[in-house]
Structure 1
Amino acid sequence: MESIRRYQWNGSLNIEVLTDSAIVLAGTQEEKCRVSFRIPRDTYLTIYLPYILERLEEILKNNVTDRYKGWWFSFDQVPLDWTYPIGVLYDSLVQLDPSFRNSTMTSDTVNVWKLVIHHDEKLPPGIIPIINGMKQIQEYWMHQWKQACFVLNGSSKQIMSLAKADSMSFWYSILNRDQKTFDRILEKILQNRDTVKNIPLKIHVASSEVKLIESITNASTYDPKLTLNDILRRACPQIFSAEEPSCFAKPIVQGIEVPLDSLILNLFNCFMSFDGFLHVSVSQVKK
């Protein structure tokens, strides 16, 4: 499991951000409107807003007075909800079968996800405005952990009782990509992963927008033999329980196709995200 967690921690995406022409100075060369970088799969894209805007500042029509407020990203004209890990957004929106991705890539292929950055005082519906910069992002992330702890144990005491120094180190381990510190504090929160009450799980169904189905297993039904297939048949019966589904559906976790008969607790222990949840993206391929 340690090797799987290490690979997950080091997993990344190649991103190319193109600037919305509405906020660019007239006559700016197109290559100056692009920012290319690599980002960890298991993080929020908005954490990298200051870096992106620093690269773009000289070609923007207006001075950047706030590096978080009013900014948002889109893919194929679909606004990206910053509250999801970037890897989850990719797996949910790109809608490519992982086996197809592998078959079309060679040693010389660089897979780049192309996004657009926008700025407007009025954000698209469903996008939470960032008013308080990085502090707000940190508070949202900590709130996710409180939820995850409550689902796991029936109480958020494990995360709430962390010393202030540990809480800050936990957050900075995300910013600094320090897995050793992250795992050290994680052990204080998840002292016994084999005796949990429920599994913090979010299922994302790939469509023209990220459709979120929160499927948190109930204490009355959870048992060590519970599989991903059991969960998906309950949460997405139109896809996984139909006698003649219109598509082949595959569950993707951290960019990997996982078997439907996988035990849900094993998946959580191996692939839990940096926000305390197990995120499952359903990749649908039409027949």
Structure 2
Amino acid sequence: MTDSATSTQSPALFQAQRLQEIASLAIEHGRVEVADLAKRFDVTTETIRRDLSELQKRRLVRRVHGGATPWETGGFEPLLSVRDDQHDDEKRRVAAAALHELPDTGAVIIDSGSTAGRFVEFIPVETKLRFVTNSLLIARSLSERTDADVIVIGGKVRKNTFAMVDSQAIEAVEPLRVDTVFMSADAATASSGLTTPYREEAAWKRAIIRSARRVVMLLDHSKFEHEHFVRFADWSDVDVLVTNTETDPAQIASIEAGGTTVVLA
């Protein structure tokens, strides 16, 4: 990308696009270098350093000598708007395949997350299910796209995800009994189970697992490349894993051996 290619855009718009791409590159590669970014975007190294400072303020990257690393490597997660751009094709395949796990009647919980957001896009308009979610974005999408009843779990909104996962949200969901929960994880391995950077998030996820008769986990292959700080579930807690065909076959075989049904998209 060059300045000439973006001459019709305002400087502010170009910077916003550059910031988003830098954050995405940091997540994808684990580290970005100032010199490489300056060359990539055809801007000065001083401009890139200012960009990295701005991204650090937003808790998207951590500045290191000569570049930056993802903020999440320190146990934090990026904004949903950044995660939303990652592995979009794989997430859509997973979401479409997960639709077959949707019950015909009753109530379901849909957890927050970018893959869950894709899943909602595939739910038929005429569905008569009752949906429970802790995500403001998913609640809005369900309300706009379907005729279903939508129940929003209250609590303090997390700015990174626009979802509620605090003690108030957990208290609200604990009495509920639903047919199926559709959820995700920040990271997963066959040996260590499902993990997230946050204790609060882990407590919420445990609560919705307890509330459901059936647990469907939506994970694209990138989630199987690392672990996070807090484990919230073992594979024995998961009835169905929906993932894409790029996921490591050895991981899939081990998960299936434990009794979890694996659906490949």
What TM-score, normalized by structure 2, do the two folds share?
0.29
What TM-score, normalized by structure 1, do the two folds share?
0.28
With CA pairs under 8 Å and 6+ residues apart, which has the higher RCO, 1 or 2?
A: 1
